[in-house]
Structure 1
């Protein structure tokens, strides 16, 4: 069907994300078009869809596009539909492209409207068949707060062309129409006098309703709209950001009209990524792939946001920069803070910060070690696009970036033999140093190498530039704990003129990360030659006192004394995350500060999961449950409100002990819930000290011991305390085909795949209280006592803890999506008294090995980690409390004296109970208030508070 190029009605829906434009200094009408709230500078998760990348290509021949039964089953369980290759026309990397990516392994799936995206991602990651599963994000264009003096500071000329030496640069080269800049933004105006002749059209696919060039896009003659999925890249009336950006990079020169873009004769390809309809959605990363596939040698991204790194997005950038050798340029942001801003902070991106006309940093410019260079970004006169002949000065990193993109296009014309990495290096190495200007001194090293100088970039052909192009840490972790030692292997590539004696010196800018071996003598490198130090890597040490969630910056200082070359490059490591990993043996287990195991709650990516021998994650969700009744349950696992409880809070953050005494690795954390009086009786009121132990030697490599010391913080005796671990296991292979079982002899609950029984995982009750187990069919139909399809209520949790061993199995005989609660029932716990419950988390490739590990765990705990007996006190229960009159007391058998006292110590009643176990006190005759009950026996004396209500 023909998709006509029609201008859309201004009345159509416009997304709020137009607001975070990387522009400022815009008065009147333009300001009204661009102004939004600062909060929109953050990226947002797109609902109803997700993206994932296969670990390997499907076997040939494969019965399905995906080729993984486990992954197919997981997609079916979450209700995914329209599963398809995300980039079906992407080209696989060639054998001579190290570091390239295969986007053919990336798929997209649509989800039910109310299905949590992160929960779906976790379900796919559990299969072990995907390299990653992530949400898709929407990024705003970048907005900077409007300067109140904007109306009086408009300039009528392009001062910035003089600042960056563009006029003289055009004497060297004026670019070429064969070099195309992809403007991935908000669309364009096809008829503007300074843009119409500069648009790169696709003459192989004219407007005839046929995909003539067979690239998957019908009539993509003028570009494409990736937000509304049609061939109309024109912007919505009033939304001019993409036009402003295009003018900076590629406005037509020598036409006697308006302005000249830095790229001069170079053309641009308009790719619209913001929707004009209510059904459209952000399409930035899809447009990057299109630009790369359709020959754009430079791609400009004047949008972005904070919010963390995405591997999918990095893959797309790598595909454009490495697979297709495109120079990717991005705006560094307009948040006046030091932060990572994406996509500018991804690898293979030239990140551009904003300068004032004086070459000093703009007051609202983002700064960071990831910035490559700076360019003018204030009062940038450019094409406006409300008419075919209008222009206006605007500001922000949205307009600094396309100046660099235009310069990159000139360099690609002048140096056709240069790779994209060499073009980026030439731009960085030929800037003018502006660090000593008054407004820049405080930001040296965080606004890049200097201000763009296009003339120097085109004429200085003997520059030296090397780059750390690959890094690998060992052990490989997303974060490192206090006391960890790290080896870092780096690969260095020389990008420009040969060097004769290159040295890389690694230093830490953080007091919490020490470089113990930080020199890499690279030696001589020819142009584009690489060399690594894997044989003698850098060595780092994390301080014992590092604060929680510290980001430590490392600096690579590259020097060549023979040529005078020196340059810095930076990297960041996360230290002391809010969890601890025990990996002394074959079982690798994450313990959080709030009682969770594997990850810090349902749908969280905080944590490194539970795995065995480096395999796929074994556990979807796990955590501590503590309860005294169906109404009083404390935990931080999933609930029945489509979320997770937040009952426990950290008293002491989870950390590894630097000098373990009883195991090869020991960890400690302390947590607590609230007192029941503060939660209307919904919590238990306990403090929990959790300890973890792991060993390196067989036969102790297959388990981690978890020891919980629980203290009663309430003024009342906890008559019956239930403690357990909820574990939603999803074993490799087919996580929806597991059986949950119980080994009563070893008090061991475990799961396995009945069809392919090569992985076993479970929890053993080692010590403390009476063992319990409850196996759960996660797919149980309505009407079952525990049904996780509609959540996990407090009543259901208490049922799993209080049913003894009446529910030992689930999923027999063919398997299901199963989980299990292994617990213990403790006797009465008096106020301020403590009790200990001990579990072992285990994994093994066979049931006999799992059982052997359980036996070893029990013996090791008895021999090395004995339970400390509580102080000898009578175990007393007093209820109901508060009371309106009658109070029932129970206590161990033996001669016992019970006394009732006022809060002033006056004895109101004394009773001796010879060799009894209980008695009653009648408080009807006493006024309302607080009283003390003292219980004395041969085992000791305890005092309890009781409240007499009216």
Structure 2
């Protein structure tokens, strides 16, 4: 490099702050990736017809149905795991519906296997200023990473050629840059003439494609500027032209694919670009973008399609946060996940057990988009990624018989160990197998041992405290045949124990597989959201040893009450069914193995139209409120007053910390479920003790449960109604609810003496003239309207039914600082309305038995009644010395329906005249103490 060019490179570093401003890339590791509003993607289930899907979407008011990949390559038996992309469709859903609601309704039809948002992943651009340190500045003026990875020596073995094409899915390219001219793989079968000459569905895709704006110009453009030019230079900057740089891929070519829109009509096209690259012959695909959160089966399907259907090596940047986190697509299966390290091999960016290997990712000198001879030193895993992608291209050229998984294995098994570097010693396994070594990869190639964990399967859907489970691992031998293979699995997490020993897998030929069962045990006191890490160590004859890792989620941040026929999910932040609007977290509500019954539910606490606290959908449309946060995660407790009991604490912020926007309430929640008798099997109880933690009196305080029910077989034909006698709001199918086979609802249990019950039934599809219009979201004012007793609306759905929800609540009056009030609800389901009402009555009686404020009792004394259940006569056996005490029989509303004075002999109570149901028999001793027993009267 000339002295003039070195000076220019150093000067270019001064513009890095301008790059940062232009890119406007959010910090990695913070908020989850944004999604495309009002748009979703689905996959048609096997055997379902597109006409059926169109009808289901019309019923939802959805539009814009579009097959995403109509020309995708079909799966092949010769490629295990290959996927069918032709069944994936994109559509727009009606305003007023949450994605969770849409997902639940469509999945419930059985026509689709998933419905997901379209995540908008950002490029991983993290420039740095080399002028901050003179040593770093010198390194920034050279391609130090070529020597570090032994690329120079690797080129002595192979330099690739134009048949190896690297798909660069990014912000576009600068075709005229002096180091990128002539490096683009051109499609001579479709010259620019306005005709789709090669009949691939893309007109004039002569030099790449813009999958965001859907046109044939992948030139660099806003909003992220020249990121794609920086990436391309690392991989394919033209060698031996006497100018600038030499890309690691040397003679390899690249296909520019622009994935970020430059027009208002465009949308993020990252995954569409991966499919395009795979369909158009790219055996290496570079992905220098991604985001936290939002794990997606659609995205995994696209990765699998490229890697398995088309045998492409998908190389992905692991992220730029100086933290351990899941990052997508880098954390998916069938990718080569690349972490960026410093010039001294020290960890500086994202690390995790999902990383495959590391590569230099700091002070990377590369091509810049400013003009045709611009270069700049940049940093981030965005630039470690194309270095590895280019190395993969050289390996594919030198060893053309290797498949994508084998190429990845060669790269992984030939790295340099960097865990002895200061700062890396505590990160074992989290920087992959080590730092890329191009020479060793090209020298050893397939002449080595490489076994991988190809698949894993758990015997349980969730690993909860005190669970035992079987983890089945499938091992695959990728390279040389192996003898005496053994797998030893060790837990690196104290809460997770491996109770089985090493598994002898024996001899495996190249491509051979073996199954290893592993027995696991979860500790009883495992905290919420614990990550269980298993080290899987392969050993074999000849000294082979390789560690791989499996990460399992233990005790996720919700509990599911399963003691009876109604299974209810309760979260740590006041939601029921699912965590807020995300119905990927939670198991909803089911009844006797039914489809899920609830798309969204949770607690509302309010004092007025601008002071409503919740974690539900919000306004504007496609947003959510996140007012409650966890103080004490919900967890199952040792059995006490119920067959299953869970408890936790959540709260909002103090008003002094939120500029008066919040209330300052702390809520202790309790959930209880009972297995017997039969009437108790149809409900679960949720109780909320609301404490005023602020310095001001809350007046008037309102609270209630919002429940968006979706009862099968068609949620768009539900009706909602109010049983004011029982304070029971319920939902059933139309047009004849009396004949419905399933009812669900919520009963307000024994409200506080200050409370006045409230109910509001909602038609979710009501027009903009309705008092509550979901088409523009669910505002705080609308939420308060549903809680306000004066705004009661008793029915919804009319005679033919609709998509309905309701709010069951109470006006609680004044709550002074430090004071508390208790609200409790029964969440119920039953096959008929009489059974639902009987369950509601049973829940009221049961709750009276467990109230913490009940009077002192003589329950410890031995008194009995039999037969129970009874058909008409009930004998009561009391301890001696209780002549003159009183017995009172109460119905489900707490009203006395029979009174008896106890004589010297055991009384026999005649209850034949009463209707069947659940009653409460209260005994009051001569000393005034009371005790109760439940009575089930049958006919």
Q: For this structure pair, what is the TM-score category when the shorter chain's length is used for normalisation? A: 0.7 to 0.9
Measured after TM superposition, the shift of residue 822 of structure 1 is 4.0
Once the two structures are overlaid, the 10-residue window that deviates more, 178-187 or 648-657, is 648-657
Q: Look up the match of 1:416.
A: 400
**Quick check: 1:514–1:543 contact (8 Å CA) kept in 2?**
no
What is the alpha-carbon distance in structure 2 between the residues aligned to residue 26 and residue 710 of structure 1? 59
Q: Look up the match of 1:134.
A: 117
- 1:771-824 Cα offsets, whole Å, 9 max, x none, are 7654332334566566555636568756667479x8553223211111233456
Does the alignment pair 1:273 with 2:255?
no
What is the alpha-carbon distance in structure 2 between the residues aligned to residue 831 and residue 163 of structure 1? 65
What is the alpha-carbon distance in structure 2 between the residues aligned to residue 277 and residue 317 of structure 1? 27
Mark the CA change 1:702 to 1:422 in structure 2 (over 3 Å): closer, same or farther: farther
**Quick check: 2:573–2:650 contact (8 Å CA) kept in 1?**
yes
Measured after TM superposition, the shift of residue 243 of structure 1 is 2.9
- 1:648-695 Cα offsets, whole Å, 9 max, x none, are 6655432111x2134432212345679999998996978554232153
What is the alpha-carbon distance in structure 1 between the residues aligned to residue 613 and residue 192 of structure 2? 64
Q: Look up the match of 2:42.
A: 53
Once the two structures are overlaid, the 10-residue window that deviates more, 626-635 or 85-94, is 626-635
The one of 387, 391, 400 equivalent to 1:403 is 387
The one of 94, 100, 110 equivalent to 2:76 is 94
What is the alpha-carbon distance in structure 2 between the residues aligned to residue 382 and residue 831 of structure 1? 62
Does the alignment pair 1:63 with 2:87?
no
Q: Look up the match of 2:931.
A: none
**Quick check: 1:630–1:799 contact (8 Å CA) kept in 2?**
no
- Aligned with 1:84: secondary structure? strand
Does the alignment pair 1:587 with 2:562?
no
Measured after TM superposition, the shift of residue 294 of structure 1 is 0.8
What is the alpha-carbon distance in structure 2 between the residues aligned to residue 173 and residue 459 of structure 1? 9
Does the alignment pair 1:325 with 2:306?
no
Measured after TM superposition, the shift of residue 594 of structure 1 is 3.6
What is the alpha-carbon distance in structure 1 between the residues aligned to residue 698 and residue 16 of structure 2? 67
What is the alpha-carbon distance in structure 2 between the residues aligned to residue 115 and residue 276 of structure 1? 29
The one of 487, 496, 503 equivalent to 2:486 is 503
Aligned pairs (5 A) from 1:465-864? 465-477=450-462, 480-517=463-500, 519-533=502-516, 536-546=517-527, 548-560=528-540, 562-602=541-581, 606-612=585-591, 616-625=595-604, 636-637=615-616, 650=630, 652-657=632-637, 659-671=638-650, 688-695=668-675, 701-708=681-688, 724-742=704-722, 748-754=728-734, 760-765=742-747, 767-769=749-751, 774-781=760-767, 791=778, 797=784, 802=789, 808-823=794-809, 838-844=824-830, 846-847=831-832, 851-852=834-835, 855=838, 858-859=841-842, 862=845
**Quick check: 1:840–1:857 contact (8 Å CA) kept in 2?**
yes
Q: Look up the match of 2:919.
A: none
Mark the CA change 1:585 to 1:104 in structure 2 (over 3 Å): closer, same or farther: farther
- 1:80-110 Cα offsets, whole Å, 9 max, x none, are 4422122222223223433333222322234
Measured after TM superposition, the shift of residue 836 of structure 1 is 6.0
What is the alpha-carbon distance in structure 2 between the residues aligned to residue 676 and residue 438 of structure 1? 46
Mark the CA change 1:308 to 1:34 in structure 2 (over 3 Å): closer, same or farther: same
Q: Look up the match of 1:230.
A: 215
**Quick check: 1:692–1:705 contact (8 Å CA) kept in 2?**
yes
What is the alpha-carbon distance in structure 2 between the residues aligned to residue 612 and residue 347 of structure 1? 34
Calculate the TM-score normalised by the size of structure 1: 0.77
What is the alpha-carbon distance in structure 2 between the residues aligned to residue 698 and residue 528 of structure 1? 55
- 1:99-126 Cα offsets, whole Å, 9 max, x none, are 3332223222346899877776677667
What is the alpha-carbon distance in structure 2 between the residues aligned to residue 577 and residue 347 of structure 1? 22
Mark the CA change 1:590 to 1:384 in structure 2 (over 3 Å): closer, same or farther: same
Aligned pairs (5 A) from 1:209-228? 209-228=194-213
Mark the CA change 1:337 to 1:765 in structure 2 (over 3 Å): closer, same or farther: closer
The CA RMSD over aligned residues, in Å, is: 4.3
Measured after TM superposition, the shift of residue 296 of structure 1 is 0.6
Once the two structures are overlaid, the 10-residue window that deviates more, 271-280 or 173-182, is 271-280
What is the alpha-carbon distance in structure 1 between the residues aligned to residue 662 and residue 322 of structure 2? 44
Measured after TM superposition, the shift of residue 291 of structure 1 is 0.3
- 1:293-331 Cα offsets, whole Å, 9 max, x none, are 111111112233334433322222122112211101122
What is the alpha-carbon distance in structure 2 between the residues aligned to residue 175 and residue 760 of structure 1? 65
Calculate the TM-score normalised by the size of structure 2: 0.78
Q: Look up the match of 1:375.
A: 359
What is the total number of aligned residue pairs between the two structures? 834
Mark the CA change 1:269 to 1:635 in structure 2 (over 3 Å): closer, same or farther: closer
Measured after TM superposition, the shift of residue 54 of structure 1 is 2.7
What is the alpha-carbon distance in structure 2 between the residues aligned to residue 641 and residue 427 of structure 1? 48
Does the alignment pair 1:248 with 2:244?
no
Measured after TM superposition, the shift of residue 351 of structure 1 is 1.7
- Aligned with 2:388: secondary structure? helix
**Quick check: 1:373–1:431 contact (8 Å CA) kept in 2?**
yes
Q: Look up the match of 1:906.
A: none
Q: Look up the match of 1:927.
A: none
What is the alpha-carbon distance in structure 1 between the residues aligned to residue 388 and residue 71 of structure 2? 29
Mark the CA change 1:434 to 1:737 in structure 2 (over 3 Å): closer, same or farther: same
**Quick check: 1:24–1:146 contact (8 Å CA) kept in 2?**
no
Aligned pairs (5 A) from 1:831-910? 838-844=824-830, 846-847=831-832, 851-852=834-835, 855=838, 858-859=841-842, 862=845, 866-868=849-851, 870=853
What is the alpha-carbon distance in structure 1 between the residues aligned to residue 651 and residue 330 of structure 2? 41
**Quick check: 1:676–1:685 contact (8 Å CA) kept in 2?**
no
Mark the CA change 1:855 to 1:45 in structure 2 (over 3 Å): closer, same or farther: same
- Aligned with 1:328: secondary structure? strand
- Aligned with 1:464: secondary structure? coil
The one of 87, 105, 108 equivalent to 2:87 is 105
**Quick check: 2:761–2:806 contact (8 Å CA) kept in 1?**
yes
Measured after TM superposition, the shift of residue 333 of structure 1 is 3.0
Measured after TM superposition, the shift of residue 717 of structure 1 is 11
What is the alpha-carbon distance in structure 1 between the residues aligned to residue 251 and residue 655 of structure 2? 73
What is the alpha-carbon distance in structure 2 between the residues aligned to residue 518 and residue 633 of structure 1? 54
What is the alpha-carbon distance in structure 1 between the residues aligned to residue 371 and residue 798 of structure 2? 71
Mark the CA change 1:520 to 1:466 in structure 2 (over 3 Å): closer, same or farther: same
Unaligned runs of at least 5 residues, structure 2:
1-8, 857-927, 929-939
What is the alpha-carbon distance in structure 2 between the residues aligned to residue 375 and residue 317 of structure 1? 22
Measured after TM superposition, the shift of residue 420 of structure 1 is 0.8
**Quick check: 2:192–2:204 contact (8 Å CA) kept in 1?**
yes
Mark the CA change 1:279 to 1:644 in structure 2 (over 3 Å): closer, same or farther: closer
What is the alpha-carbon distance in structure 1 between the residues aligned to residue 610 and residue 316 of structure 2? 54
Measured after TM superposition, the shift of residue 588 of structure 1 is 2.8
- 1:436-468 Cα offsets, whole Å, 9 max, x none, are 234543444222212222232233233222222
- Aligned with 1:400: secondary structure? helix
**Quick check: 1:519–1:538 contact (8 Å CA) kept in 2?**
no
**Quick check: 1:694–1:704 contact (8 Å CA) kept in 2?**
yes
- 1:594-629 Cα offsets, whole Å, 9 max, x none, are 432113434675533223455543212222356789
Once the two structures are overlaid, the 10-residue window that deviates more, 752-761 or 590-599, is 752-761
What is the alpha-carbon distance in structure 2 between the residues aligned to residue 332 and residue 704 of structure 1? 43
**Quick check: 1:49–1:135 contact (8 Å CA) kept in 2?**
no
**Quick check: 2:74–2:83 contact (8 Å CA) kept in 1?**
yes
Measured after TM superposition, the shift of residue 197 of structure 1 is 3.0
The one of 430, 437, 460 equivalent to 1:453 is 437
Q: Look up the match of 2:175.
A: 190
What is the alpha-carbon distance in structure 2 between the residues aligned to residue 828 and residue 112 of structure 1? 40
